[in-house]
A and B are shown apart, each in its own frame.
Chain A
């Protein structure tokens, strides 16, 4: 059931955010959930372990599949980008070459809202890049390079 998988994804995100030092209150705000639900999640209640297993598998998909599937399940771009960003395993470095013509196709395509146009050139926020490569694939001038980088920790 899609709803259960979404719960599983939210669970994984909540756990990760708590691990990073956020409070339950902050996590609840970010995920737009009741604080009590977060608390339940973290205690393993209201949630089948099977949903979490499926959600874990999804986070290990290639970034594009993880992102598009999550977006399809949630149909909410803000929550999608938080879940994908938090649960994504890789780190990416985006580079835009001088050949960029500023057509904005990448910005329109990016589900992570990581791209803005500045002086007719795309600026990609590597912090939000999930490595899905959809911007690179859509770029008419082949101006985007996405590199996977080693995580420092």
Chain B
């Protein structure tokens, strides 16, 4: 008789079944789980249960957000297909069913076009899952300015005022204690022209007018500058494991370089009268859809919980965690790749509420 084996490593779980013909391995990564409970809803044999996610997430308890009865699980993989966070996977003979055409798959993606991207890092800062890394290399400062600077060492009294004032740390004096053999407070003064930005602060602050400097950019336009030198190069990276396609990157990008495709469409309704502002939904939402609004003026009345559905993936975690059933998440559309199996089609359709 075929029997399943279960392995638990910290909060992660693995259930497997081996026969002469094939090996099936189901895996759960707690770190990626958003606590939406879609897996428990879609499971055809009720093997999965959603644990008290509010308590687990908010108190940092070392406990898995879902539990699975390995004696009930038949390793069909429906939960992993429904999981919007890719926290679940089923591998058959070491190949994920997400790579098999016969299985349906949620159609979701997030991409950043590096050709359009200006590498401002707004998406990296906004991403609620810290899934985005932007690497950028900045142009050399000296190539963005052009000018001339010269210090008349005869006139210079080695006061060091220019050195102190220079915002680019381009001027260095060789300070020394004067001796009878060399009665001066500095042996030399040099300007590092790679650092100088020709701001003329040194010239204006010199008490003895020893510095002659001019900024060509300001006086005569930018004729000396090569626009290619000003280009910022970089690259973007989205960690597909962490990304849940919330759309923050797309919404915050100033140049429309990010494109996000969501698997679910729907509605998020909050009953402001029922809400007791406990904050469980705000804490559980993987997409930072929810927040507590601050009134702009005294006397202004604001909603208890603020939502912006632009970022919502309609996973339903907030509705599951709300202790007073003040949140209703409706899924009106589920986008998935076709499958010939009617039972799988029906299950995918059942994600609509």
Direct touch of chains A and B (CB < 8 A): yes
Contact with B along A86-113 (1 / 0, CB 8 A): 0000000000001111111101110001
Chain B residues within an 8 Å CB radius of A105: 2, 74-75
Contact in complex: A102, B22 (CB < 8 Å):
no
Are B341 and A119 closer than 8 Å at their CB atoms? yes
B1 within 8 A of A: yes
Report which of B1, B44, B77 forms a contact with A140, defined as CB distance below 8 A.
B44
Which size bracket describes the interface of A in this complex? 10 to 19
Q: What is the total of A-B residue contacts with beta carbons within 8 Å?
A: 64
Asked if A4 is an interface residue, CB under 8 A from chain B, the answer is no
Known: A101-B344, A120-B103. A109 touches B1 (CB 8 A): yes
Chain A residues near B92: list those with CB within 8 A: 104
Q: Report whether over half of chain B's contact residues are helix, strand or loop; otherwise say mixed.
A: loop
CB closest chain-A residue, reference B103: A120
The number of residues on chain B lying at the interface, defined by a beta carbon within 8 Å of a beta carbon of chain A, is: 25
Cβ B22 vs Cβ A98 within 8 A? no
B76 touching A108, Cβ below 8 Å: no
Q: Is B116 in the interface zone, CB < 8 Å from A?
A: no
In the complex, which residues of chain A have a beta carbon less than 8 angstroms from the beta carbon of B22?
A: 104, 107-108
Q: A108-B21, A120-B102, A120-B103 are in contact. Are A101 and B75 (CB under 8 A)?
A: no
Distance of A107 from chain B, by nearest CB (Å): 6
The DSSP consensus for interface residues of chain A is loop
Q: How far is the CA of A88 from the CA of B103 in the complex (A)?
A: 37
Report the separation of the CA atoms of residues A120 and B341 in the bound assembly, to the nearest whole angstrom.
Answer: 6
- List A contacts of B2 (CB < 8 A): 105, 108-109
From B74, which residue of chain A is reached at the shortest CB distance?
A: A103
| Nearest-neighbor residue (CB-CB) of A118 within chain B | B102
| Chain B residues closer than 8 Å to A113, beta-carbon distance | 21
Which residues of the partner chain B approach A103 to less than 8 Å between Cβ atoms? 74-77
A105 to B45, CA, bound (A): 13
Q: Are A77 and B103 also in contact (CB < 8 A) when A103-B75, A103-B76, A119-B341 are?
A: no
Within A112-143, the residues touching B (CB, 8 Å) are 113, 119-121, 140-141, 143
Binding site for B on A (CB under 8 A): 77, 98-105, 107-109, 113, 119-121, 140-141, 143
